[in-house]
Structure 1
Amino acid sequence: IILTNSFGASPLKLEGYGLEAQTIELNRSAAELSKKAAGDRVLVMGSMGPTGKMVMMGEVSPQEVFNGFMEQAKGLADGGVDGIVIETMSDPEEAKLAIEAVKKASSLDVGCTFTFSRNQDGVYRTMMGTDVEAYLEMVLAAGADIIGANCGNGTAGMIEIVRKIRALDPDIPVLIHANAGLPIYQDGKTVFPESAGEMSSQIEELVKAGANIVGGCCGTTPEHIRQIVQILS
């Protein structure tokens, strides 16, 4: 599986570049390019990320968010994606609007992954305060076909998150895209410290915990993915 290069291609993001009128066209192109690269042996999932606008703060209306995600989903569907992944979410209301928009714009399966961080009490929550249980309840009620987490954690943290998900729902497909470890600041730049070998060595445990689809997020390289595939093969 590969993801389209469309994470920030919602009209609410694109308006910062004066490109909001091209939302459908840009998402369609992202899908078509990915399908061309994938050929017949790889599935293509359309990537949709947060808008960067807060509904709860009145920056944007729920209808504007819904309409924007509808446009993005339509473009990705028109371009031929095999499904859509709404990723790096932290706001339950925005995620719910995104899932509902994809369901209205297409007949595609939709995944929704949140980004969790472990707080001082050892509880995994999003930056908006949503814990794993509340996330799961919301995305399932909204109609997500695939759930999970991406970013915010290395593989070790993701193993804990998957175990929490599986304790609540043993059956739904779970997608996990971990970072190459937790970022550190080194020589004036942000570095993700886990090598391909270090990350891939934890993948079997991640799958045993209940992850069905695994991959990489920040800091991962083609070599990370290659070694993950070798381990799982």
Structure 2
Amino acid sequence: MPNDTQFHPSSFLLVGIPGLEDVHIWIELPFFSVYLVALLGNTAVLFVIQTEHSLHEPMYYFLAMLDSVDLGLSTATVPKMLGIFWFNLGEISFGGCLSQMFFIHFFTVMESILLVAMVFDRYIAICKPLRCTMILTTKIISIIAGIAILRSLYMVVPLLFLLLRLHFCGHHIIPHTYCEHMAFFSFLTHRFGHNIPQYIHIFLANLYVVVPPALNPVIYGVRTKQIRELVMRIFLKTDH
């Protein structure tokens, strides 16, 4: 595309991981596998929490929210990433790029709030076990969930309006697999380490949106005895 200045370009071109184009077809295999694990793991935990009434407790409500956020974060990025690796479908509209940025940052901010809420829940359960159900009522959990959503919107929406006010100059090629702001690792390496190849930045940014969603169901879900037993009962179809 010619270099020019536009208020809102019609589209951008995501090129994947520059420098590793020859191995895109091989890179997609582990990413697809991890994404599949994230889908199956989070969906299984959500299904177990929804169907098992004994798990209708604050800790599992927060876990269900975390699984939903993980599904949203990975689904907002990985399908487009695989489309680039498999079929060279790098073109993305301006609105699509903006939407992708919104969901990435929205779910990322919300995930951090939910992790804090889960820590608070464990603190109450350990330090004040007799008052746990009185403190963390359904109303309080709903309020925490509402605060998480509103805080995420409060932090992300202004960024989108600022972007909408900018003029976009130069080419419309994005050396990445999805639309994002600069990652906290990329920021530090640009400031302190100038010799790190660009493909390392992009590769790590891709890992960030697929690995945590795949590991969280194991760390916070399957390691919990009740969920582990119920998941095994479902998949193995055995009675305990």
Q: TM-score, normalised by structure 1?
A: 0.22
Structure with more of its chain in strand, by fraction: 1
Q: TM-score, normalised by structure 2?
A: 0.21
Q: Highest CA radius of gyration, 1 or 2?
A: 2
Compare relative contact order (CA 8 Å, sep 6+) and give the higher one, 1 or 2. Answer: 2
Structure with more of its chain in helix, by fraction: 2
